[in-house]
Amino acid sequence: MTLSAATVRRWRVALFLMFFLPGIAGASWVTRTPTIRDVLGASPGQMGLLLFGLSVGAMAGVLASSPAVALFGGRTVVSLGASATVLGLLGVLLGAVAAAPIAVFGGLALLGAGGGFAEVGLNVEGSAIEAALGGRPLLPLSHGGYSLGTFMGAVAGTSLNAFSVPIGAHLGAVALLVITCLVWAALNIPPGTGRADVCSPRRRLLVVAPKRGPFGVRVGTRDSRLLALGGIVLAMALAEGAANDWLPLILVDGFGTSAAEGAFVYALFALSMTVGRLCGGPLITRFGRVAIVRASIIAAATGIGVVAVLPSPALAAVAAVLWGLGSSLGFPLSVSAAADGPEEGAAARVGKVATAGYMAFLVGPPLLGFLGGHVTLRLALLVVLAVVVAAWFGSSAAREQTKTAHGAPEEG
């Protein structure tokens, strides 16, 4: 199907907006975590358990997303995911107002499920637009919509914290914004993207004859590459998630700042992620995916290490910028790399790689909360640092691929 330039343009804007919505929703909750923690009287470990609801919901959503895209197409899936995000915000709102931890847990589970369910659909839509644009990189810019939403939500949360605006009014207004934007965006995304109308048994994820390793495990080229890409996504998602879930509390508890100051540093992190994603396209075109992924790992590791071990709040604020820049491109570049190859298997490949990232969201918050209760949240970041450094060894998997005459991708 050939689409007009105007249709593709509206599609791009709609996709950017659909990335933006979970960003502003998530930041709106994160910037109020110190207040919610105080209302609930929760310890770091108990906050970790509440965040476990967010992680479980996200994992459940992303596991269901890939087959749902194949059945119904991306537009339906991302619309349902955004709707769940609205319900999640309302659940957190009710739990905070009523001081009910179970309601906060349920709201976070819905918030995570909405984001996770939309994840594969969003990235499949982005890959389809990249193809419509002749291969120009778009996913980093689209993910920049999420970061822009995070930044705007962080700025708003910082201001509302400073003026002691009630949580109910804050989250209720964000829920209304999400609903309004969702309606327009859904009407401007073409139906059916990623839907598997015809399944060809000949074209599968493994496009080379697989070898059998120990215990019968397949060791085909595509399997190995997706595994490495999943490792990068896991590390970058853990780095991003650690900041999204814990950075305001790390500043408050680890550096003795006020809640507004902690939210401000988180806003710096979100702004740097936004800048990295919105401005990363030309750098990717010039230097290639592998070089940018490696530079991202270095920047993220440096920022996390400084926050973990150095005592100055001012240095922590500078480090948050490096942390955000480093975390900004690894996830979208790895997803874009996974989408290389035959269109039929794109949803499955993206789903496998995105699932690795949501494993980080599943394990990360409770793990950091548990460790934070024993060795402080700052020192718990050393675990995140180690995982990010380890991602370096799989970075060559992000190399650009081209298709052969038989549809099998080869390194470009």
Q: Which of 32-36, 211-215, 343-347, 377-381 has the lowest mean pLDDT?
A: 211-215
Of 196 and 258, the structure prediction assigns the larger pLDDT to 258
Confidence of residue 154 (pLDDT cuts 50, 70, 90): confident
Q: Which of 53-57, 182-186, 217-221 shows the lowest per-residue confidence on average (mean pLDDT)?
A: 217-221
Is a pLDDT exceeding 60 seen at residue 407? no
197 — pLDDT class (breaks 50, 70, 90): low
- The per-residue pLDDT for range 71-99, each reduced to its tens digit, is 999 999 999 999 999 999 999 999 999 99
What's the pLDDT band for 218 if we cut at 50, 70, 90? very low
- pLDDT for 342: 66
pLDDT at position 341: 67
Q: How far is CA 225 from the centre of its chain?
A: 20
pLDDT in tens, 341-393: 666 676 678 778 877 877 776 677 778 888 888 888 899 999 999 999 999 99
Residue 281: pLDDT above 50?
Answer: yes
Mean pLDDT of 45-61: 84
The tens digit of pLDDT for each residue in 221-267 reads 457 888 999 999 999 989 988 998 889 889 998 999 988 889 889 88
Per-residue b/e over 69-105, b at no fewer than 16 CB within 10 Å? bbebbbbbbbbbbbbbbbebbbbbbbbbeeebbebbb
Cα separation, 138 vs 131, whole angstroms? 10
Other Cβ atoms within 10 Å of 376 Cβ, number:
15
Query: Would the pLDDT of 305 be above 60?
Result: yes
Cβ-Cβ contacts under 8 Å for 100 (sequence gap 6 or more) = 94
Domains detected in the chain: 5-190+215-411 (1.20.1250.20)
Q: What is the mean pLDDT of the chain?
A: 84
pLDDT band (50, 70, 90) for residue 404: very low
